[in-house]
């Protein structure tokens, strides 16, 4: 059974923020830094952490929003969506991007330094976290990156040559928040790399893997995408 706990992660400027850590049944394994949607470290994110721990990973879910509001964990109704969009807007306008990357690199270092983390470390994120996962992978040494429907990835392709690890990008073909041309641009930017995969679920919208959200859930697309993610992480993080 997976074991959850709360860690305090030190930031570069002397503060600390929460990291939800989930250990696999074996007690140790490769690490995955799991980055939240705009809804915070909520039941969806923690459910994914449990699933990843069940696959043998030590998972850390840092509190990305802590500089604007600590320990956000929103639900999945209309009010939560409006609140998440408001917090995401504040986060984007009030927190400098370099500061965010510093915080996430600190979380990555914390995960890598845990006695339970053995071997390789990857980063995986959803929505906002999908963009941040890509940015982390272009700024810090990681062994694999999985980005789900990151709306900011296409706008940060000037960093593509800094991506130093294998990567898997998931997009929905009917995403109201990400233009099809943006997903195509990501695919084109990495077309020469055999270790970068861009998957587009043609009938899926945004956040299709969040099965707890009535706004976004697409069980068929999720049933296809998650095994691809599991296989990708196993290939790049569980190598001996």
Give the per-residue SS3 of 32-59.
EEEECECCECCHHHHHHHHHHHHCCCEE
Which of the following is catalytic: 127, 143, 170, 182?
Answer: 127
pLDDT at site 240: 54
pLDDT at site 2: 74
Count of domains for the chain: 1
Site of tokens 């697309």: 221
Distance from C-alpha of 188 to C-alpha of 157, rounded to nearest angstrom: 10
Q: What is the CATH number of the domain that holds 65?
A: 3.40.50.1820
Q: Is 78 a catalytic residue?
A: no
pLDDT at site 41: 98
Q: Is 145 a catalytic residue?
A: no
Exposed e or buried b per residue across 159-185, where buried means at least 16 C-beta atoms within 10 angstroms of its C-beta: ebeebebbbbbbbbebbeebeeebbeb
Q: In this predicted model, what pLDDT tens digit does every residue of 139-158 receive, in sequence order?
A: 999 999 999 999 999 999 99
Q: Is 165 a catalytic residue?
A: no
- Give average pLDDT by consecutive 10-residue segment, the chain, 240 residues: 89 98 97 98 98 98 98 96 96 97 98 96 98 98 98 97 98 96 98 98 96 95 98 90
Sign of CA dihedral 107, 224, 166, 196: negative
Domain with 105 in it:
3-237
Which of the following is catalytic: 63, 103, 143, 175?
Answer: 175
Angle at 89 between CA 69 and CA 33, to 5 degrees: 60
Angstrom CA distances, 119 to 10, 111, 185, stand at: 22, 11, 33
Task: Give residues with Cβ within 8 angstroms of 183, minimum separation 6.
Answer: 154, 169, 171, 173, 175, 198, 200
Task: Give residues with Cβ within 8 angstroms of 83, minimum separation 6.
Answer: 74
pTM of the model: 0.97
């Amino acid at each position: 059974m997976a074991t959850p706990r709360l860690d305090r992660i030190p930031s570069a400027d002397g503060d600390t923020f929460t990291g939800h850590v989930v250990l696999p049944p074996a007690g140790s394994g490769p690490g995955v830094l799991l980055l939240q949607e705009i809804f915070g470290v909520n039941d969806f994110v923690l459910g994914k952490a449990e699933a990843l721990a069940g696959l043998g990973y030590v998972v850390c879910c840092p509190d990305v929003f802590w500089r604007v509001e600590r320990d956000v964990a929103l639900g999945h109704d209309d009010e939560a969506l409006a609140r998440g969009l408001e917090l995401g807007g504040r986060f984007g306008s009030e927190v400098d991007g370099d500061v965010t990357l510093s915080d996430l690199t600190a979380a990555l270092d914390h995960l890598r330094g845990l006695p339970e983390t053995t071997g390789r470390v990857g980063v995986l994120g959803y929505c906002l976290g999908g963009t941040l996962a890509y940015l982390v992978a272009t700024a810090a040494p990681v062994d694999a990156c999985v980005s789900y429907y990151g709306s900011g990835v296409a706008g940060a392709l000037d960093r593509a040559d800094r991506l130093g690890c294998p990567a898997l990008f998931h997009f929905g073909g009917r995403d109201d928040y990400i233009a099809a041309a943006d997903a195509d641009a990501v695919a084109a930017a990495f077309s020469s790399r055999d270790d970068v995969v861009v998957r587009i679920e043609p009938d899926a919208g945004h956040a299709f893997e969040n099965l707890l959200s009535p706004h976004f859930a697409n069980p068929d697309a999720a049933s296809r995408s998650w095994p691809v993610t599991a296989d990708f992480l196993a290939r790049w993080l569980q190598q001996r």
